[in-house]
A and B are shown apart, each in its own frame.
Chain A
């Protein structure tokens, strides 16, 4: 499934917040690349700079220095609306909080129609309705039940599924999934993860998981990048890292995973 063509490469990406003594190097000289159809995880505790990295890749935040290269093209300083729209057609995201990811004033139909507007302006109303119904079915939701509802009438799992439906409509090349399952309950989690994996299998989508959950990263990813205070401290094959961690921080991170049959010492 993983092809050899490189999809996205970041080179020496750095983002500094604040200035002078209080400056924080949220992302510090980070370099990595992801191939087409590959699933990788950026793994780290809160404050390690993984969400900032995600925002930089999504062009929601300008970097202080460094480069982002998407399909061979340097898009670091792209700022015209047209180019940004083209980029966002290829790179999309799912965020952590399925509650605040929605504008509470709009129905689900409107959310999905907005996503279609990004794909093409010239799809007829009937076609749009058809496409929306199709993607809702494919994420396991009943269109008739969902379409006219407002976000606050739905559960967290349902909302995250709608966010997935939104991604499916746009069908980007790269999906940045920032803690996609951390705020929904365990029973919906596996369903969402399997849907995400299916995106790769069916459409060859590359996925970057941003997570602190080693189990999730191990289960889903081909490669892992371990981040600590803005730097990537270890990277490599998922299996390899979990079984044979080299960096001290990675070891500590692995030790902190709660295991069911071992008593926790607090």
Chain B
């Protein structure tokens, strides 16, 4: 375990991703603590350009963009994390049961998974977002998580099916382990790194999904997220009026977050799969 961390921190790509992610995280968590303003409060004029008073200017209703950005990043991270946790848990549960049990159980579970893959998730997301009347950040995370697990399930099923043929699995079976014990104790520990990486991918996917949905106007109510900021600037024609400060900062925040997660993921891939390592 210690070796893995040493290897990880030797990779420049991992350090860049990690530091960037910490920066985004502290901006989103510590920021609102140090600067407890209400992001909905109208403090300035309409689309005021960046100045000493408003570092990133104000939006269409005279609200401070910088404050919105801090709270918005926090909401986006929260939604992404919720979605990641939910999608990874569903995917790992379904994939490992299907892979371990095989036979008819596998057919049924993978059938369900394939159905979920063929339905474009954005359609499900839109329908679900419309159906759910009170859309809080948590509900958004849930909706995104529930629609984005199939790829994880498929990958975990394949991994489980290959791990299942190892002899310690047979030993555990003739020692009388139950199916749940087999999966949790004998199979999942071998996939831990893989599951963690899947979580990071789902995390960044969740953030992007939230941005897409919110930009379409299906985002959380009464909350500001990065996607919601984009929605506002789209709605109030920030692009046409040249108010770049209303949409460039959330876009940069989004890209930085997903870039940091992706670069951590790919450097982890290199550490956990030594075949990908470059000398």
Contacts and interface: CB of A to CB of B under 8 A. Distances in A.
Given A100-B166, A103-B189, A105-B189, A95 B175 contact: no
Interface stretch (A66-74, A111-119, A188-196, A256-264): A111-119
A interface bracket (residues with beta carbon within 8 Å of B): 20 to 34
Contacts of A118: 175-176
**By DSSP majority rule, is chain B's interface helix, strand, loop, or mixed?**
helix
Interface stretch (A81-89, A201-209, A215-223): A81-89
B170 A114 contact: no
Interface in A92-118: 92-93, 95-97, 100-105, 114-115, 117-118
B174 A58 contact: yes
A95 B170 contact: yes
Could you say which of B166, B175, B177, B178 has the most chain A C-beta atoms within 10 Å of its C-beta? B175
Interface string A46-90: 000000000100101000000000000000000001001100100
Interface residues of B, number: 16
A115 B172 CA distance: 9
A85 B176 contact: yes
Contacts of A105: 189-190
Nearest to B186: A103
Nearest to A91: B174
B175 A97 contact: no
B274 to A, nearest CB: 16
Contacts of A163: 171
Contacts of A166: 171
Nearest to B187: A103
Nearest to A163: B171
29 contacts: A58-B170, A58-B174, A60-B170, A81-B178, A85-B176, A88-B174, A88-B175, A91-B174, A93-B170, A93-B171, A93-B174, A95-B170, A96-B167, A100-B166, A101-B168, A101-B171, A102-B168, A103-B168, A103-B172, A103-B186, A104-B190, A114-B172, A114-B175, A115-B175, A117-B175, A117-B176, A118-B175, A118-B176, A166-B171
Given A93-B170, A103-B186, 4 more contacts: A100-B167, A103-B168, A105-B190, A163-B171
Interface of B: 166-168, 170-178, 185-186, 189-190
